[in-house]
Structure 1
Amino acid sequence: MSTQSEAGNSVTTEWRSAWTAALDELELDVVTIETMLADERRLAELPESNLWQPPTELGALPLELRPRADEILTRQLAAAEEIARRLTSTRVQQVMTSRIETGEATKRPVFLDCAM
């Protein structure tokens, strides 16, 4: 009977370890984005995008890992909001920049002689 109990503990330990590894990978992605958002210079050095895929063979998330998963989700949502805010800001700056007249595209008269 103890062999069956030991086998069950081994499976539970492997399951928990697999989920911990999956959360580690997901958290590393969030840390990368948070670091890039914190350092403007790093935005130019974008890493290749690897979309995280939830593990399909692990089953349900262990209950004791739920707080960590919730915290990672909260951080992901905050990073996504910051990215959206920065994209909007960039769009506004692009519109303003496009309105700046450089004088190269069209040559307009500097003055108009109304004496005629």
Structure 2
Amino acid sequence: MTSDWHGAWTGALDELELDVAHIESMLADEHRYAETPPASLWKPPTELGALPLELKPRADEILTRQLKAAEEIARRLTANRRQTAVTARIETGEAIKRPVYVDRAM
């Protein structure tokens, strides 16, 4: 039972680590990210019980990597919003109808 429990947790952490490694590699290569279909959401396994104590350092490292990747995604989203706002303000060169003269005598 103990080896099955440990093995189940090891498998769950393997799957979670692959997910974060995939995100990290997409962040490193923006062109690949644009061509990669969205991944399915990771779902925590059920009925595993408590995490084995010897796997806690690995789980903590995966969590740290996930948080770092999420922070980088948030930073890039903010940069994209700023770039979109600046781009929206750039004139396209098309004729813009603006008043040239305003008669204030009236």
The alignment's TM-score, normalised by the length of structure 1, stands at 0.80
Other structure's SS at 2:48 match: coil
Cα drift, residue 103 of structure 1: 2.6
Whole-Å Cα distance in 1 between the matches of residues 88 and 78 of structure 2? 15
CA pair 105-76 structure 1, distance change in 2 beyond 3 A = farther
> What is the aligned partner in structure 2 of residue 86 from structure 1?
76
**Max radius of gyration: which structure?**
1
Instruction: Give, in whole Å, the separation in 1 of the partners of 2:59 and 2:82.
Output: 35
Residue identity matched to 1:74:
T
Is the counterpart of residue 63 in structure 1 residue 53 in structure 2?
A: yes
Distance 1:69 1:47 in 2: 26
Query: Counterparts of 1:1-116 in structure 2 under 5 Å?
Result: 11-104=1-94, 106-107=96-97
Percent identity, aligned pairs only, is 72
Q: What runs of 5+ residues in structure 1 fail to find an aligned partner?
A: 1-10
Q: CA RMSD in A?
A: 1.8
CA distance in 1, matches of 2:34, 2:24: 14
Amino acid at match of 1:30: V
Partner Cα separation in structure 2 for residue 63 and residue 79 of structure 1: 25
Deviation at 1:45?
1.6
Superimposed CA distance per residue, residues 52-96 of structure 1 (whole angstroms, 9 cap, x where no aligned partner): 111111111100000000000000000000000000000000000
What code does the residue aligned with 2:54 have? Answer: E
Query: Runs in 1 of length 4+ with deviation above 3 angstroms?
Result: none
